[in-house]
Amino acid sequence: MERIPILRMGETLLVTIQVDMQDQTAMALQEDLSARIASTGASGVLIDISALEIVDSFVGRMLSTISGVARILSATTVVVGMQPAVAITLVELGLSLEGVRTALDVERGMALLQRLRLENARGA
Q: Which of 95, 110, 112, 113 is in the footprint of its own copies by CB under 8 A?
A: 110
8 makes contact with its own copies (CB under 8 A) = yes
Contact track, its own copies, 60-99, x by CB under 8 A: ---------------------x------------------
Give 94: exposed, middle or buried? Use CB within 10 Å, 0-12, 13-18, 19+: exposed
Pairing of strands 12-16, 101-103: unpaired
CB–CB of 39/59 below 8 Å?
no
Name the site residues for its own copies (rule: CB under 8 A). 2-5, 7-10, 14, 16, 18-19, 48, 50-51, 81, 105-107, 110
